[in-house]
Amino acid sequence: MGSPKGTVLEQAMRFWISYTQQLAMIKCVFLYLDRTYVLQTQNIASLWSMGLNVVKRHLADSDLRSRLSRLIIDEITKERDGKIVDQKPLVTLLSMFVELNLYSQPFIPSFIRATREYYEKESRRLVGLLSPIQQQNTADSDSMDAPQYLVHVKRRLEEERQRVSNYLVPSSKGTLLITTITELLEKQAEKLMTTSFGTMVDRGMLSDLANLYSLLLSANRIDSLKRHWAGYIKKTGMRMVQAPEIDVSLIANLLEFKKKLDSILHGPFQKHPKLTNTQRKAIEEFVNSRRNKPIQLLAKYVDQCMRPNSKVASEDDMDMMFGQIVALFMFMQGKDLFEAHYRRDLAKRLLLNTSASIDAEKLMVQKLRSECGSGYTSRLDGMFRDMDVSEDFFEKFAISHRAEVSKDIAFHANVLTQAFWPTYEPMDLVTPKQVEQAQSNYVGFYKEKHSGRKLQWQHSLGTCVLKVHFDEGTKDLVLSLVQGTVMLLFLEHDMLSYKQIQENTALEGPELRRILQSLSCGKHRVLVKEPRGKTVSEADKFYFNAKFSSPHVRIKISQVLTKEVEVESKEVEENVQVDRMFRVDACLVRLMKAHRKIEHNDLVSELAKQIQFSISTLEAKERIEMLIDRDYIKRDDNDSSVYHYIA
């Protein structure tokens, strides 16, 4: 017993090999005895079992068994420390423990306890060395970042698997691996996630995130990953959404952010259901934390993508981009507000012919229809039908009135169904005689084909191209109809005062000032204003600028927008809000009609489930009060929180 530990194991190994060989020989000699007398007599063990029991009694009654267990565990510890050990004694003696029924009890409990202590100590030491993730690997052996720690854990698990394959019994594999990962990862998961998870996601460290996922899944710590996944998404998303100064790039940033999240979810995280659901809820929370603005910006982003100067060129790129946009759109509340903004922008693109591709326009609407249903896109679909019908009808008009069409004017008109298109304020405008005659001919032809219909010209949506002769040469000016009307006044006058222009056009003051400012104070000054300045007043006089020059033959003169976009946006939101209140009232009446009697909180809860936009408890209460005042519902006589439907 005073021999070195390795010698004790070797002696025990040699003893067991020799003993089992001799026992096998005795068994062969007395084989007939084993097969006859022993089998026919109760309570008598076979020679082999009796031989094993002799050794088992000696081991059970002495400290040799405990010492052998300690020596085996010490050898395994050395191997874990990176030292080379002779595995033959381990294989033989652990096989002996199995034969003697000493492996499961008491060896395995002692071995698992030693394993737990070993990895608990190692994890404390390594976690104490954890440092922030470096941009590049450093040679500092005194520190370790989270990805390196995860690689270490994977290596340790693989070593334990190999240990089972080499000399441990397969039945102990599960307990051994669970103990290892519990000490190395499960107990340290929170610290690892808190210090390094965000950095790993920010830098797109996919292989390291895959290691993290597989290890946490093995350790049954997906809930920890889920919590940090949600926290990262909400924190990063809130930082983008709640920063008005970056609104101009918000949607592009959100699309890129979601693309990054999807690459991690579909790659390293293998579309785990819990993580998929967590990502959806987190995106919904942060993207709706700023009411109305993100979905309004999304509509404007689509408008920019549809313009001719969009960077997206190929059809495949368009399809992929629209898919990403609609995916983001589905997380947002207030889809009716998106439709209102989108419809107004689509109207401008269709009527002003500023869309890069009609096919792209229809593709986007198709994707919205597939997600939200045909009812959602009914007005958008109607706008496309109007444009197609108008084109066909105008061809018939052009053929019918070919002889009456002036060679000096090319006229085109679209007939729009008021229910489909945005509402526009009517504008009083005295149009040029040539335009007025063409309009009159068109209206007459239309009424011949469609009696009983009323047409109203929307001058604010009209555009024109004027061929203007300057001293430098002839230029094509792309103008609004109102701008063109003002310019044509100078065919007969060298100079016109502000009041004269107003009398000849019937334009209101703010609109006229905006038009004159665009023609005389902007980048392309085709009119000269006296006195000079950047603003227009009623005392100003205007002259045709014959000396105007430009390197371009075709020149688009934009209107001065001032705060039109903001006013228009506010108007859209107000109209949507009014429409929402009607829809809330209708939904409340339907619910009351279905339930006949319902408690206030239940009514508000069901209302929130059925409408497609967010509504506050206060707003819901106000609409309920309105319905009570209008005798659609009434309060219960004994309980004011209960409502009854009035048939």
The pLDDT tens digits of the residues spanning 613-644 come to: 777 888 888 888 888 888 888 888 888 888 89
pLDDT of the residue at 608: 83
Bridge-based pairing of strands 527-530 and 633-635 is unpaired
Instruction: Over range 234-262, report the average pLDDT.
Output: 94
pLDDT band at 544 (very low <50, low <70, confident <90, very high): very high
**What's the pLDDT band for 437 if we cut at 50, 70, 90?**
confident
Q: In this structure, is residue 447 part of a structural domain?
A: yes
**If you average pLDDT over residues 557-567, what whole number do you get?**
62
Q: Is pLDDT at 647 greater than 90 in this prediction?
A: no
User: What mean pLDDT is predicted for residues 528-536?
Assistant: 89
Does the residue 48 lie in any domain? no
Q: Residue 110 contacts by C-beta under 8 Å, 6 or more apart in sequence?
A: 69, 70, 73
Domain count, the chain: 4
Range in 414-418, 500-504, 578-582 the model is least confident about: 578-582
- pLDDT at residue number 141: 54
Here the tokens at position 553 are 């033959």
Per-residue pLDDT at 559 exceeds 90: no
Q: Which of 351, 386, 421 is the last residue of a domain?
A: 386
111 falls within a domain: no
- Residue 57's pLDDT band, with cuts at 50, 70 and 90, is confident
pLDDT at 404 over 70: no
Q: Are residues 302 and 432 in the same domain?
A: no
Write down the pLDDT at residue 407.
63
Asked if residue 223 lies in contact with residue 273, where contact means CB atoms within 8 angstroms, the answer is no
| Whole-number average pLDDT of the chain | 87
> Do the domain assignments include residue 189?
no
Q: Which two tokens stand for residue 433?
A: 């005689």
Confidence band for 312, pLDDT divided at 50, 70 and 90: low
Q: Is the pLDDT of residue 102 over 90?
A: no
Nearest to 541 by CA among 571, 501, 483: 501
The domain that contains 446 carries what CATH number?
4.10.1030
**Of residues 78 and 26, more confidently modeled:** 78
Percent share of the chain, pLDDT over 90? 48
- Specify whether 570 is located in the same domain as 558: no
Model confidence at 508: pLDDT above 90: no
Decide which of 32 and 496 is more confident: 496
The enclosing domain of 509 has a CATH number of 3.30.230.130
Whether 629 is covered by a domain: the verdict is yes
Identify whether residues 352 and 210 lie together within a single domain. yes
Shared-domain flag, residues 283 and 303 = yes
What average pLDDT does this structure show over 208-212?
93
Tens-digit pLDDT profile for residues 462-480:
899 999 999 999 999 999 9
Is residue 326's pLDDT more than 50?
yes
Q: What is the pLDDT at residue 362? A: 94
The pLDDT of residue 93 is above 80? yes
Q: What is the pLDDT of residue 311?
A: 67
Going edge to edge, which strands form the sheet with 633-635? 597-599, 642-645, 633-635
> In terms of pLDDT, which residue wins out, 562 or 307?
307
Domain shared by 551 and 513, yes or no: yes
The 10s digit of each residue's pLDDT in 5-18 is 457 888 889 988 88
The region of weakest confidence among 41-45, 169-173, 325-329 is 41-45
Q: pLDDT-based confidence at 567, cuts 50/70/90?
A: low
> Which range of residues forms the domain containing residue 623?
565-645
- State the average pLDDT over residues 47-53: 73
Determine, yes or no, domain membership for 30: no
Do 395 and 436 reside in the same domain of the chain? yes
The dihedral over CA atoms of 15, 21, 26, 28, expressed in degrees to the nearest 10, equals: 170
The answer, yes or no, to whether residue 38 has pLDDT greater than 70, is no
632 within domain boundaries? yes
Q: Looking at residue 282, which CATH number applies to its domain?
A: 1.20.1310.10
Q: How confident is the model at residue 262 (pLDDT cuts 50, 70, 90)?
A: very high
pLDDT at site 570: 73
Find the length of the chain.
Answer: 647
Distances (CA, A) of 40 to 32, 44, 52, 327: 12, 9, 21, 78
Percent helix / strand / coil, the chain, rounded to 5: 65, 5, 30
Placement of tokens 């993290």 in the chain: 212
- Whether residue 314 sits in one domain with residue 252: yes
pLDDT at 292: 86
Cα→Cα distances 76→85, 109, 124, 463, Å: 8, 15, 20, 87
pLDDT of residue 27: 76
- Does residue 230 sit in the same domain as residue 371? yes
Question: Within 10 Å of residue 492's Cβ, how many Cβ atoms?
Answer: 8
CA distance 93 to 51: 16
The pTM of this model reads 0.78
| Whether the predicted pLDDT of 454 surpasses 90 | no
Share of the chain above pLDDT 70, in %: 93
CB 233 within 8 A of CB 279: yes
- Tens of pLDDT along 347-373? 999 998 888 889 999 999 999 999 999
Non-local CB neighbours of 400 within 8 Å, separated by 6+ positions: 445
Confidence of residue 128 (pLDDT cuts 50, 70, 90): confident
> In terms of domains, do 419 and 292 share one?
no
Tell me which of 61 and 643 has the higher pLDDT.
643
> Which one of 360, 386, 412 terminates a domain?
386
pLDDT at 1 over 50: no
Contact 508, 556 (CB under 8 A): no
Interacting residues of 589 by C-beta distance below 8 A, sequence separation 6+: 627, 632, 633
Strand partners, 495: 543
Which of 386, 408, 425 terminates a domain? The answer is 386
Residue 563: the pLDDT is 45
Both 354 and 209 in one domain: the answer is: yes
Identify whether 116 is part of a domain: no
For residue 631, count CB atoms less than 10 angstroms from its CB and return exposed for 0-12, middle for 13-18, buried for 19 or more. exposed
**Tokens found for residue 153:** 């854990």
Could you tell me if 467 and 515 lie in one domain? yes
State mean pLDDT over 280-303. 93
Q: pLDDT band at 157, cuts 50/70/90?
A: very high
Cis status of the peptide bond prior to 422, with omega within 30 of 0: no
> Given a cut of 50, is residue 612 above it in pLDDT?
yes
Can you spell out the DSSP letters for 251-294? HHHHHHHHHHHHHHHHTTTTT-HHHHHHHHHHHHHHHTSSSSHH
Q: Are residues 255 and 372 in the same domain?
A: yes
Lowest-pLDDT choice from 5-9, 18-22, 205-209, 253-257: 5-9
pLDDT grade for 43, boundaries at 50, 70 and 90: confident
Mean pLDDT, range 143-166, rounded to an integer: 91
